Amino acid sequence: MTELNKAKESLAKIEEKYDKSKQNVAEREREVKALRKTIAELEKQLNFEKVTAEIKQVIWTAIGQSITNQWEYIDAIYEQIGLIGRAKKELYRARNALGNMADLAPKMIEVLNYRTGSQLIKMGIANRTETISIIKRTTTMKNLIQTLDRKIHDIQADITKFQNRFTALQDKGLPSLEESGQLLSHEKYIKRVSTFAAIQIADTSGSSSAGPLTGQALFNKLDNLFFIKNEVAHLFDEPPHFFKYTEADETIGSILRHQLPPRDIWQDLIKLLLNQS
């Protein structure tokens, strides 16, 4: 019994020491966690995470205001993009309808101008002036097509300049203006920018490096934003206007209203004039 009691006492002492050891380990773990938390907070302060996030918020707010200031011009550019689309469709239709008619017209008019009235009557042409007028419809259409082509080329140059500048901004991190190929409303776009900005600002803490933040590192963090802020304010060399738009739109209307010679009449004129030449 004496030996058993001694053994029990020894076990009790060992268990007591073990329990105290576990308590010490738990205390040390709590201390380590507390120290790690303190270190993390200090590193955040040294890395200026809060300040960097605040700066980003200020810059994004300025970017949003610049976009708002420019929005009527962006809207105008997209109206012109819409016009370009309509013009190209109309040019395609008009060119197909014209075919080679305008190329044949000068020779046909030459025949009419070098024949006497009696000769033309024998050929089946009753009225020289009226016939020439019908033929000249083809050259009028050709001129309208060429005029519209020049006008949309000028408009496209302005559009391309804007698109190139905005693409550069997107490469730096500004969200797209479009959804399913269409310009977003101002309200939806500003909301898109705000959402994007919030995500980027929230990512500030995750991108911090250990140790104090250097001036170069801070510059690298904010360089893109400063670029966007500056370039958004200079998207346009001058405010877009609708002078070229109106002229092009008028030309589209003229093309739509213009009537080429009916195909049957045109084929008859070819037979009468070109086959007789």
C-beta separation of 230 from 174 below 8 A: no
d(CA 88, CA 227): 35
Mean pLDDT of the region 39-68: 79
Task: State the amino acid at position 42 in one-letter form.
Answer: L
Kindly indicate the confidence band of residue 53, based on its pLDDT and cuts at 50, 70 and 90.
confident
> φ, ψ for residue 15 (rounded to 5)?
-65, -35
The residue among 54 and 100 whose pLDDT is bigger is 100
Q: Residue 78 contacts by C-beta under 8 Å, 6 or more apart in sequence? A: 183
3 state DSSP class of 212: coil
Q: Which tens digits make up the pLDDT trace of 155-182?
A: 999 999 999 999 999 999 899 999 999 9
Give residue 277's pLDDT: 46
- H or E element that contains 178: strand 178-179
Q: Which tens digits make up the pLDDT trace of 81-131?
A: 999 999 999 999 999 999 999 999 999 999 999 999 999 999 999 999 999
Q: Which token pair is 60?
A: 């994004």
Q: Residue 229 contacts by C-beta under 8 Å, 6 or more apart in sequence? A: 59, 62, 63, 66
d(CA 81, CA 101): 31
C-beta separation of 228 from 63 below 8 A: yes
Angle, vertex CA 30, rays to CA 28 and CA 34, nearest 5: 115
Mean pLDDT of the region 125-150: 96
pTM attached to this predicted model: 0.74
The residue among 56 and 22 whose pLDDT is bigger is 56
